[in-house]
Structure 1
Amino acid sequence: MDFGRLPDLRYVDFRLPPDHPDTARVLARAQSLASVAALYVGCPIWTNKEWLGSYFPLGAKEPDFLKYYAQQFNSIELNTTHYRIPDAPTGRRWREAVGPGFKFCPKLPRSISHERELYNTDALTLSFTRAVQELGDNLGTCFLQLPPHFGPENLPRLERFLLDWPAEVPLAVELRHPRWFSDRELANSVFDTLEALNKTLVITDVAGRRDVLAQRLTTPVAFLRLNGHGLIPSDYDRADAWAERLANWYAQGLQTAYIFI
């Protein structure tokens, strides 16, 4: 992930900010729901040949990479769907390659988010949601990554898109434009809208954009994208801090966390 990446990390304050005040309220409401807490950890890809001999057996063939990946992780940030909507046989093949507890979190196609910017996307959205539902119980939370130039002036368009989104397909939203976060009143309004529509706010932890680390849960689901830097010491410190924060959220009523590294 290039978003928020910096060449020099010496002056970055990686400490996690305190929770948004409304996070406790969202989690408290979820505590009354009878459900087993779940934790899913994964990566953005499974076709990594550098894992041959470690995560994957030496000599493993690329068609089997997903099977071996699913033996190490229980989720994937499914970026391939950002570039092409899979056909039904592909979705079924992915599902057959993983275990029953594995979750795919498909990224919405760039044709929806970046090219059309949520304009006139009904047909594409229908095609995408039908395709990912082929994953059955292995479908986790889909996520909409909005481009960095998609600012608050487009809020009505975003709201309309979310209202039209099929309720049976879980969705998270990643905001990137700085003005979504710099105006506190606006930010709270957007967060409240996501909460009202039962859509999850993506939490992105990157070096160069600490402002997007809002720590506001809009559903009892945490969807975290954590951008590391080659396992330098600060990466371990950040992982420890997140483990502590997530434990606190689970104690308050968090139902599910997706962590992508």
Structure 2
Amino acid sequence: MPSPPYYLGCPSWSESAWRQTLYPEDARPSDLLELYASVFNAVEGNTTFYARPAPTTVQRWADVLPEHFRFTAKFPRDISHGGDLRDHLVAAEDFVQLMAPLGRRVTPFWLQLSASFTPSRLGELAAFIDSLDRPLAVEVRNLAFFQKGEDEKYLNRLLLDRGVERICLDSRPLFSCVSTEPAVLHAQSKKPKVPPRPAALTQFPQVRFIGGPELEANDIYVVQWAEKVAGWIEEGRTPYVFLHTPDNLQAPELAQRFHQQLMTLLPGLPALPVLDRGPQVEQLGLL
């Protein structure tokens, strides 16, 4: 979608298992990002949270990704989870410069804060935002920011006044399922269990949807978000929507499912491109 009404993607692009559903079977690892970007127009930059990429890697991304693509690079966890944010401003600026070859495609940067980031530390956040002066979206996980009290109001006002979006994480689908699958149990142990906050503080609302392992069981929540996103688009906003599953093996299918639902609400919205996966071997059943 060269002029997309919204940005849609997954947490990553390099899952080998997606050769079964998204990529050609013979796709080379070096080709996956370009293939991914021919279907989706955004990706969560989870990889940068865990490790800074080499400058040559960032340049390779820049060489491959089209100008309309968006890469929401997360600040590395030593910045976001390493104590007082003000102590990491130099490191944050260095990270911004590292990602500079991507230009506007890194819009916004994501700052994912831990559950230990309490309302008493909002002064740090304000100073970080003001000093960095970059397009930014923030995810909070401390429960005090989800109680509709003064702490949450102060957070929202702080972000609104600075043109910073509040990332909405919806983990209801993940926690609504009962499963003994290791991937589900692992995801439930790692993801925050917080109520969704569908904020639209800027022109670019940010949504992270954490689905369960059964795609159809997510539909009740997918429909809700499709209606919300359609409303934002009709208001002239450009939402970002990223869809996860517990092991992310079905993330592209869930994203495609979301887009199909949105198409029913926004007539004229084009379907997502479909990659040519080459000749497929037909699976014959036993008679």
For the aligned pair, the TM-score class normalised by the smaller chain equals 0.7 to 0.9
Task: Answer yes or no: is the 8 Å Cα contact 2:49–2:74 preserved in 1.
Answer: yes
Q: Mean Cα displacement is larger for which, 140-149 or 211-220?
A: 211-220
Match of 1:72 among 39, 54, 77: 39
Given candidates 78, 88, 99, the residue that maps to 1:111 is 78
Shift of the alpha carbon at 1:69?
1.2
Change (3 A) 1:113 1:38: same
Q: Does 1:194 align with 2:146?
A: no
SS at match of 1:63: helix
Structure 2 distance, partners of 1:92, 1:163, is 28
Aligned-partner residue type, residue 62 of structure 1:
P
Partner residue of 1:170 out of 106, 118, 135: 135
* 1:228 equivalenced with 2:211 (yes/no): yes
Per the alignment, residue 260 of structure 1 pairs with 242
Asked if 1:250 corresponds to 2:215, the answer is: no
Q: 1:137 to 1:159 in 2, by over 3 A?
A: closer
Higher relative contact order (CA 8 A, sep 6+): 1
The alignment status of 1:238 with 2:221, answered yes or no, reads yes
For the Cα contact (< 8 Å) 1:203–1:212, is it kept in 2?
no
Report Cα offsets for 1:86-139 as digits up to 9, x if no partner. Answer: 343221210222223211110111010112341411221111111122102322
Whole-Å Cα distance in 1 between the matches of residues 196 and 102 of structure 2?
A: 30
**Aligned residue in 2 for 1:47:** 14
How far residue 60 of structure 1 moved from its aligned partner, in angstroms, is: 1.5
> Is 1:214 matched with 2:197?
yes
TM-score normalised by the chain length of structure 1? 0.79
Aligned residue number for residue 90 of structure 2? 123
**Amino acid paired to 1:188:** K
Tell me the distance in 2 between the aligned counterparts of 1:121 and 1:80. Answer: 19
- Return structure 1 stretches of 4+ with deviation > 4 angstroms: 208-211
Output the CA distance in 2 between the equivalents of 1:233 and 1:77. 23
Q: Based on CA coordinates, which of the two structures has the bigger radius of gyration?
A: 2
Q: Deviations over 1:1-53 (max 9, x none)?
A: xxxxxxxxxxxxxxxxxxxxxxxxxxxxxxxxxxx873111111111011114
Report percent identity of matched pairs: 29
Equivalences for residues 8-87 of structure 1 within 5 A: 38-87=5-54
Task: Quote the offset at 1:175 in angstroms.
Answer: 0.6
Q: Is the partner of 1:156 in helix, strand or coil?
A: helix
Helix, strand or coil at the partner of 2:97: helix
C-alpha contact (below 8 Å) 2:232/2:239 kept by paired residues: no
Mapped partners of 2:164, 2:219: distance in 1: 30
> Map of 1:83-162 to 2, 5 A cutoff?
83-162=50-129
Secondary structure (helix, strand or coil) at the match of 2:21 reads: coil
Q: Assess if the C-alpha contact under 8 Å between 2:45 and 2:73 holds in 1.
A: yes
Letter aligned with residue 172 of structure 1: A
Q: 1:137 to 1:161 in 2, by over 3 A?
A: closer
Q: 1:211 to 1:81 in 2, by over 3 A?
A: closer
Residues matched between the structures, number? 223
1:244 and 1:70 mapped to 2: Cα distance? 25
